[in-house]
Amino acid sequence: MDEKKIMISGGAGQIAYSLIPLICSGEVFGKNIKLNIKLYDILSMEDKLDGVKMEIDDSCYPLVNSVTTTVDGEVAFSDVDYVILLGGFPRKPGMLRSDLIEKNVKIFKTAGQLLEKFSPKHVKVLVVANPANTNAAICMKNAPRIPRTSFTCLMMLDHDRLRNALAEKLILHRDILKLSSNFTILNVKNVIIWGNHSQTMVPDISHVQIFIKNNWINLFDIKNINNILTDEWIDELTNFIRQRGKSVISKRQLSSAMSAAQSIAKHIRIWHNGTLDNEFVSMGICSDNEYNLPNDLIFSLPVEIKNGKIYTVKFHTVRNSFNLKIQTNFKKSLEELKNEYKISNSFS
């Protein structure tokens, strides 16, 4: 039976606590792959790491070969297939985004250096801690031995928030659109999140397909759709997606750990297994000059994944995507990301 070796930084945190059961139960890599788990955190969290390990042991996951807890970077980053970087300095009340960048530069510079020194070249890296795109770029910069294609940041949560919000809108107008009674979010695919994981991210539904009458069809080819998905509503949708994380925090008084864990699991699962035919997802990746993007940044793009390799989706026909508003917002997000990366370099 094949094995996978996964390291999770911030292993004693609340997102890890929701993520670990998904990985250990086989939801990510499948039921035929044995798992060796490493949980890594700062020294003050050592006892909590041990407590998490005790719970994993007591859960008797049949796929788990071993669980290692450590506060030692060399132990954590050595001999791993996937590195999931949850641990970072959290944004606190009154902090500017530049303050958050400054606090995280050292953390992710160190993570990159540990990857460079100890990790195998085939390792795949997912950065979750915010500002995720810039943290991933800092990490990548400090690990030049690792291929740039091996660095990603999490955009799947925003992607699925957009997908769900659109599905709910369509279901609300099921009768007008003549959708079947069993129409669900599973009948919606190919939403896009462009840009930075921030208030400038660009939700885009112009390439969406929905499954009706046993066929996948383009969303905007549906009769009456423009009466429902008006420009005003799409603007509201953009603001909704950008504010969703804050809305969860205002209700829970905690971050969205459960949905973040689900989206991390999905990101890794799709990276491992690939996307379905004619389907793409949003990932923060290092561009190979696609869409004229700099290749030192991590930018969210629509991607397809085949045999573990990530391919950017390039659109050859222009529908509503990259209309003037999306182009403008795309450029704003890119400029913000460039500025963040410039700020991060001033601190490194």
Q: For residue 219, what is the DSSP state?
A: G
Say how far residue 307 (Cα) sits from the centre of its chain.
19
Say how far residue 88 (Cα) sits from the centre of its chain.
15
Residues 340, 343, 348: CA angle, nearest 5 degrees: 125
- Phi first, then psi, for residue 309 (nearest 5°) are -100, 140
Q: What are the beta bridge partners of residue 192?
A: 204
- Tokens 């940044």 correspond to what residue? 297
Q: Check if the beta carbon of residue 91 is closer than 8 Å to that of residue 129.
A: no
Say how far residue 298 (Cα) sits from the centre of its chain.
12
Known catalytic residues are 197
257-273 vs 156-172: helix axis angle to the nearest 10?
100
CA distance 254 to 40: 22
Q: Check if the beta carbon of residue 248 is closer than 8 Å to that of residue 255.
A: yes
